[in-house]
Amino acid sequence: MGSNLTGAIINADETFLTTLSNKGIYNRALKEYESSIVKNIEIDDNGESVKAEFTDGVNIIMTGSIQNYKCTCPSRTACKHLVTAIIAAREKLRENDNQNQNENENEADIESYITAVHGIKSALANIDESKLSGFALELEKAGKERNLAVIADETPAFMNDLQTLVENLKAKESEGVN
């Protein structure tokens, strides 16, 4: 969504929108947006067009740039529908960006989880803890398959088993047993 249209929409602040129309239209558009007058807003996959459908029956389409728009209302200048559509599209784009950022963060978390479990699996194999190493392998597979249910359900039990192992190893060490 890096087109000229979506870039302009994301950067459309109050100053820009009041310059495009006027302060009165901007204020009306804000109230209209907040009262959910926009029934539907669509942004094409390339970010080259935005279509807005309003509850009052008006439709608007912007293609290529904010200035290239067609609105079905009788106004011949930048109307409240245009400004409201820009505000609605801007908020939708910001929401999509936040969602994409969260998805990227979740993906990084899963990759870190896989790496950590893989390392623990290897360490457990090195100390002949084959049962726990096998458990770690199952969690590693769940991570690679993005099976979050298995990860959420099984990780606490795995962590408890690891804690028990550490306590047993500490007890053996304090007893002087190798």
Among 60, 82, 100, residue at a domain's last position? 100
Contact between residue 84 and residue 73 where contact means Cβ atoms under 8 Å apart:
no
Is the four-CA dihedral 126, 132, 135, 139 of positive or negative sign?
Answer: negative
Quick one: 88 and 111 in the same domain? no
- Whether the per-residue pLDDT at 178 is higher than 60: the answer is no
What is the number of structural domains in the chain? 2
Distance CA 152, CA 59 (A): 46
| Mean pLDDT, rounded, of the chain | 89
Q: Each residue of 141-171: pLDDT tens digit? A: 999 999 989 999 999 999 999 999 999 999 9
Phi/psi at 60 (5° precision): -140, 145
Contact between residue 40 and residue 53 where contact means Cβ atoms under 8 Å apart:
yes
Neighbours of 143 (CB within 10 A): 23
Quick one: 111 and 167 in the same domain? yes
Share of the chain above pLDDT 70, in %: 96
Neighbours of 59 (CB within 10 A): 16
Q: Which residues are paired to 50 by β-bridges?
A: 43, 62
Structural domain containing residue 55: 4-100
Among 85, 100, 115, residue at a domain's last position? 100
Contact between residue 39 and residue 54 where contact means Cβ atoms under 8 Å apart:
yes
Among 100, 129, 161, residue at a domain's last position? 100
Quick one: 49 and 127 in the same domain? no
Across the range 70-85, mean pLDDT stands at: 93
Beta-carbon contacts of 154 under 8 Å, excluding residues fewer than 6 positions away, are 135, 138, 139, 142
pLDDT in the model for residue 54:
94
Quick one: 43 and 109 in the same domain? no
Quick one: 74 and 45 in the same domain? yes
How many CA atoms, within 13 angstroms, populate the side-chain half-sphere of residue 89? 33
Quick one: 49 and 91 in the same domain? yes
